[in-house]
Structures are given as structure tokens and as C-alpha cells.
Amino acid sequence: MSLNVLLVNYTFPPVGGVNVLRVASLARYLPANDIRVDVLTTRNPSSVGADPSLLNDIPPEVTVHRTITLDLPFSLKKAIKRLLTGSRPPTEQAHKDAPPGSPNPAKLNPLKQIVQNALLPDPQVTWLPILTRVAPRIVHNRKIDLVLISCAPFSTLRLAESLRKQFPRLPIVLDFRDEWLSTTFDVASFNFSRTERARVFSIQAEARAVASATCVVSVTEAARCEIRSRYPHEPDEKFKYIPNGFDATRLSPARTDAAIRTDSRIVIAYIGSVYASTEPTKLVEALKSLPDQLRSRFLIRFIGHIEEPRYRAALLELGDMIQLQGYLPQHQALAAMNEADYVLLITHDRLNVSAKFYDYIGAGKPILACVHPDGDARLLIDQLRAGWWADSQDVAAMRRLFQEAADRGNPPFADFHPETTGIAAYERSVIARRYAGLLHSIANSSSTGCAPQRAADTEAAKA
């Protein structure tokens, strides 16, 4: 039976960046799995950059509904943030170690408090008044069988409660691309406010959204367990795990011929943003401790937005060892990745796995990883034999990681034997089939009540 799905996400191509890739891949591949897809997104989102090439992958039968949002452009938002918070001096590191949710008295000026309290849980909440009016109309007019809401931004979760009031039997799926309350809440790049008021608001908002949802999907098993643990009264089958993946059609085979470059330097590529949970200061300390002769053998290219000036300053301390190339459209970033000998993964996050990880394994690139030793990223590296890792807080271990990379030489393929069968399971078309199976199952189990409810709530949808 064909299924009509409304896919809701704040960003969508031609917007670029990691936040669009999971949703864009679902829009690309779900139609081949007997699902008609409508996308509800914003016309003018706050985003790091654009990548119009992603639109080429969206099938023509996908209907995209774009609405305006009152959120500020990315560059202007960053300027206002700097105005409100000021630059962070070195002593700011001490505040990072304060309990989660603890305000920093030196930074909480009255204007900042007013803005933060007005925009809970995040600035993208300005889309919510429009979202809650447009979504019901699409559900009614397009005869939607199931709504899939992807987040972050987490303010989008509030749509679930609104839809549940109007369509009591409509299946609603929440797709958490990142776990919120235990990890992302305390990452300043992702969370506009980390005050106690914001924490209470966020806890309540997530609880109402989960209560309103038919199913909650996480991209790691650790995140699924974390979210599930907060709602012991809910049935276990309500919480599912469907990982991120890589798009094989956008990746080139890994380079196996060192003759492409005439020098003997070991080139390492980092793809993606640099923010609190990927901050590089400990790694910089480890690299600076290497002997000069060994440091001169490495060239590390950072491709992506750097959130904090202090992270950029720390990286630049590495001198000729580092290149900061900024944001690039995906095809250019992947090409740069393919030219490297290694790819670099940095994450201090125990629950979430960076989307770049899947592009890394899909391209067959050996990973040098500075990760949480108990995190899902480390587990996947070991399971898939995807590279070598060190504790992201252990300077000595990271130093050894790079010393051993130098010992392996250029390129390192002789010692790299990834588990290709396991990696193939993370291809996006495979993941989309898995997701489609879940959506069909949910809709089929709810089919006896959904259609009549839509008809009964016609007037509410038109409001």
C-alpha cells in the first residue's frame, strides 16, 4: 500500500551542511519504497552555506513546501551572539567545567537574558507559529498518512504536540539526529540558552513531544537507550535506532596510489564544523608536543565552519602543519577527503556519532580518531576496523596515535583492513529501505483510525 509521508525539517537543499543530509537522503530514496514524500521546510533558514547540487538528487515527484521563518541569517546571528556574550578569555575554560545548566554570571547581562527567555528552546522557535498553521493544512490537503519530524533544531519537536491535538490518531515519528538533554543541551553551538529555566523548559518540551509521538527514532543505540531511559512508562518498542549513513553515489573510490602527490607528507582531512563537542584544543596540545621533524611530516586540512575564534586560534598555533579551508559544498569537501591519506574524527560526545564518520567509512578512508573511549563512535571504529583511535582527553595517547601514523608511512593501506560487509549496511539507500519498512509498519498498525480522523478534523486543519 502506498504511504503519504510529510517530512518536516528546518533545512533542506539547496541549503548545505550536515543538517540536511539525512532528510535529503530520505526524500531521495523513500519514493522508491512505495512512499510519496512531501517536505515541509523553510525558505530562508539560518545556515552555514549552500549546496545547490544536493537538489539534483531529489526526485521530481517529491513536493517541497517552503515557508518563511523569522529566524535571523547565520552571519547576523553570530554577530549578535558576540555582541551579547563578548569574546571568551582563557579563564572561560574554568566555567566549562561548571555543572550543566549553571549560568556564567560574567556573561548573563540583562539583554541576553531577555533574548534567551524569548527564544526557548532555540532561535528557530520563530518558525513554530508558521509551522503549526501550515502543517495541518498539508496533512489534510495532501491526505498525509504519517508525519516524520526531524530535529535539531529542537523547537521543531513542539509541532508533535500541536498535531496530536488536531489529529489524535495520526502517526507521528520523531527523528532525533542528535540526543538533546544529556549532551546537545550543553553544547553552546547547538543550544542558545543553557540556563536552568531553559533546561526545565527543554525537559518539559521533550516530554510532551515524546508523549505525543507514535515512535521516537535515534541515530545511535546509545542515544536510543538514553532517551528511552527518561520515559520508563512508555513501551520499549516506541523507541527505535536507525543510524546515519553515506551516499555511495557521491563518493569516489579511496585513493590507492601515492603517485598522485609528489611530496612525502601525510595529509589528513577533517570534514565538518568545529564546535564544543569537537573542540580541538587537547589535540593541538598533543600535536605541538611532537618533535619538529615529525610534525613537519603532517599536513592537516580542516574543511568546515569553526564555531569559536578560540578554536581557530588554537589550530593556527600549529603553523605550517594546518590549513583552514572553511565551508565547502559537499562534493568539494568529499573530493578533498579523497585526496587525503587519513581522515580525522574528533568527538568528546558519548552518545552521538558525527555524520562525517559515515562518509569516512563509505569512502574507505582510514580514520585517526580522538573520541570518547566509551562512546558509540569508538565502538563503531572497532567493529568496522575503520581506523585507529585515542581518548580525546588523553594528550599522551593522541601523541602516540600520530607517532604510529607516521611509522605506517604514506599511504597506510597495507595496515588498513576495514570490515567492508558491515560498512555496506550504512549506505543511505539501505538505511532508507530500513526506515521505509518502519514507516509502513507504523502506518499499517494505525490505519484503522487515521483516515476517518482526517475527515473529522477538516475544519481544524483549515484554521
Instruction: CATH number of the domain at 227, please.
Output: 3.40.50.2000
Average the pLDDT over 49-67 and give the result.
94
Strands 63-67 and 146-151: what pairing? unpaired
Average the pLDDT over 25-47 and give the result.
94
pLDDT bracket for residue 439 (50, 70, 90): very high
Q: Which of 79-93, 137-151, 445-459: highest mean pLDDT?
A: 137-151
Query: By mean pLDDT, which of 38-42, 69-73, 287-291, 449-453 is the weakest?
Result: 449-453
Separation of alpha carbons 16 and 128, rounded Å: 22
Check whether residue 217 and residue 262 sit in a common domain: no
pLDDT of amino acid 109? 62
Hey, what amino acid is at 146? L
Strands 387-391 and 367-371: what pairing? parallel
Residue in 131, 181, 120 with CA at minimum distance from that of residue 8 = 131
pLDDT of amino acid 27? 98
pLDDT bracket for residue 300 (50, 70, 90): very high
pLDDT bracket for residue 71 (50, 70, 90): low
pLDDT of amino acid 96? 40
Average the pLDDT over 412-424 and give the result.
89
- Report how far apart, in Å, the C-alpha atoms of 362 and of each of 28, 29, 53, 398 are: 18, 17, 20, 24
Which residues make Cβ contacts (< 8 Å) with residue 416, sequence separation at least 6? 366, 387
Check whether residue 330 and residue 232 sit in a common domain: no
pLDDT bracket for residue 378 (50, 70, 90): very high
Which residues make Cβ contacts (< 8 Å) with residue 339, sequence separation at least 6? 255, 260, 261, 267, 269
Strands 146-151 and 239-241: what pairing? unpaired
Task: Tell me the average pLDDT of the chain.
Answer: 86
Separation of alpha carbons 79 and 81, rounded Å: 5
pLDDT at 87 over 50: no
pTM: 0.84
Separation of alpha carbons 236 and 238, rounded Å: 5
Residue in 212, 201, 19, 215 with CA at minimum distance from that of residue 125 = 201
pLDDT of amino acid 100? 41
Q: Quick check: helix, strand or coil at residue 368?
A: strand
Span between the terminal Cα atoms of the chain, in Å: 30
- Report how far apart, in Å, the C-alpha atoms of 92 and of each of 95, 99, 106, 265, 286 are: 5, 14, 10, 36, 21
Distance of CA 323 to the CA centre of its chain: 24
**136 vs 86, more confident:** 136
Check whether residue 223 and residue 259 sit in a common domain: no
Separation of alpha carbons 79 and 42, rounded Å: 22
Check whether residue 192 and residue 313 sit in a common domain: no
pLDDT at 446 over 60: yes
pLDDT of amino acid 1? 66
Check whether residue 166 and residue 192 sit in a common domain: yes
Cβ burial of 40 (10 Å; 0-12, 13-18, 19+) is buried
DSSP bridge partners of 64? 39
304 phi, psi to nearest 5 deg: 150, 175
Provide the domain count of the chain: 2
C-alpha cell at 196: 536552568
pLDDT of amino acid 460? 38
Average the pLDDT over 311-326 and give the result.
96
DSSP code of residue 387: E
Percent of the chain scoring above 70 in pLDDT = 81
How many helices and strands in the chain, by DSSP H and E? 18, 13
pLDDT of amino acid 352? 92
Check whether residue 272 and residue 380 sit in a common domain: yes
Check whether residue 363 and residue 442 sit in a common domain: no
Percent of the chain scoring above 90 in pLDDT = 67
Check whether residue 297 and residue 441 sit in a common domain: no
**446 vs 452, more confident:** 446
Q: Is the dihedral of CA 177, 182, 186, 191 positive or negative?
A: positive
Check whether residue 279 and residue 331 sit in a common domain: yes
Instruction: Tell me how crowded residue 48 is: count the other CB atoms within 10 A of its CB.
Output: 18
Full domain range(s) for residue 73: 3-245+428-462
Helix (H) or strand (E) holding 4: strand 3-8
Average the pLDDT over 440-448 and give the result.
85
In this structure, are residues 15 and 69 in contact, taking their beta carbons and an 8 Å threshold?
no
Chain segment 182-238, per-residue pLDDT in tens: 887 765 444 456 678 888 999 999 999 999 999 999 999 999 999 999 999 999 999
Check whether residue 252 and residue 239 sit in a common domain: no
pLDDT bracket for residue 94 (50, 70, 90): very low
Check whether residue 175 and residue 238 sit in a common domain: yes
Chain segment 253-266, per-residue pLDDT in tens: 555 444 455 567 99
pLDDT of amino acid 192? 54
pLDDT of amino acid 70? 79
Strand arrangement, sheet containing 387-391:
322-324, 298-303, 266-271, 342-347, 367-371, 387-391
Separation of alpha carbons 322 and 204, rounded Å: 43
pLDDT of amino acid 294? 95
pLDDT at 293 over 90: yes
pLDDT of amino acid 462? 42
Average the pLDDT over 411-428 and give the result.
90
Hey, what amino acid is at 143? K
User: What is the crossing angle of helices 74-85 and 110-118, to 10°?
Assistant: 140
DSSP bridge partners of 279? none
Query: By mean pLDDT, which of 121-125, 143-147, 199-203, 250-254 is the weakest?
Result: 250-254
Hey, what amino acid is at 390? A
Check whether residue 386 and residue 437 sit in a common domain: no
pLDDT of amino acid 217? 98
Chain segment 2-35, per-residue pLDDT in tens: 999 999 999 999 998 888 999 999 999 999 999 9
